[in-house]
Amino acid sequence: MKWIVAVFLMFIASAGWSAEPPAPDLPALSGEVLEVLDVPSYTYLRLKTGDTETWAAIATAPVKVGTTVTIENAALMDDFESKTLKKTFEKIYFGNLPVAPLSDAEAKARIDSAHAAAARAKQEENSAITKASGADGRTVAEIVTSDAELKDSVVSVRGRVVKYSAGIMGKNWIHLRDGSGSSAYASDDLLVTTLDQAQIGDVVLVNGIVRKDKDFGAGYAYKVLIEDAKLQQ
């Protein structure tokens, strides 16, 4: 089993993706489930932890009231607004439930599938994508190199998803490329955060707000990105 995990990690490192900065080790949070709120992509849990209560959010999971759960990698966020629930949480932890270990066969199947998907994405990621139309249409390179001019503006950009990370700090994180820009000047890759879902290799039209010098804390800081994005395929 250990050799499979090691190979998987080596494969990710050699695939050429720029990983999100590693966050520091985060604590686990355990408690009895008092309330469950399910929304698309997420499950919100009100937990009794000792003599207090707190809220936590995880990727959608079948959790029942009365059970005891442990939330791993519990990152605290203050004054988080859920637009779906129309509720602001004064304090809420974002994390994940423990993952059951895979058998050797299951782990190998996932590695093979990831390898095939990455190979396809790597082959296509720098292919030219038709620029988004309209006055707010921009290429990846135009957004990255004009971040000061476009700061807090709404833009549209069409590109291919070359990396997808779900459920980080309550959002899905997407790296987008459209064939413009240069890797030497870090102008060929654009980060997008969204509540929408996508898959590696998808060509999507993104509409969102350009942010400059954004620091999410926990080691996540970016010179330019698009936030509050809506995706169309």
Asked if residues 174 and 205 have their Cβ atoms less than 8 Å apart, the reply is no
Q: Which residue matches tokens 């060929």?
A: 188
Question: Which two tokens mark 61?
Answer: 């999971």
CATH number of the CATH domain containing 218:
2.40.50.140
99 lies in the same domain as 142: no
87 lies in the same domain as 135: no
Domain hosting residue 189, numbered range: 125-232
pLDDT for res 109? 81
pLDDT for res 13? 41
pLDDT for res 83? 82
The residues that bridge with 93 in the sheet, in sequence order, are 56, 76
CATH number of the CATH domain containing 47:
2.40.50
Q: Residue 140: is its pLDDT beyond 70?
A: yes
How does pLDDT run across 33-57, given as a tens digit for each residue? Answer: 999 999 877 899 999 998 999 999 9
2 lies in the same domain as 70: yes
Secondary structure of residue 119 in the 3-state scheme: helix
Sign of CA dihedral 207, 211, 43, 71: positive
| Interatomic CA distance for residues 127 and 129, integer angstroms | 6
pLDDT for res 3? 42
111 lies in the same domain as 199: no
**Which of the residue ranges 9-13, 184-188, 210-214, 215-219 would you say has the lowest mean pLDDT?**
9-13
Asked if residues 57 and 40 have their Cβ atoms less than 8 Å apart, the reply is no
105 lies in the same domain as 132: no
Secondary structure of residue 170 in the 3-state scheme: coil
61 lies in the same domain as 103: yes
How does pLDDT run across 70-92, given as a tens digit for each residue? Answer: 998 888 888 888 888 888 999 99
- The reply to whether 120 falls in a domain is no
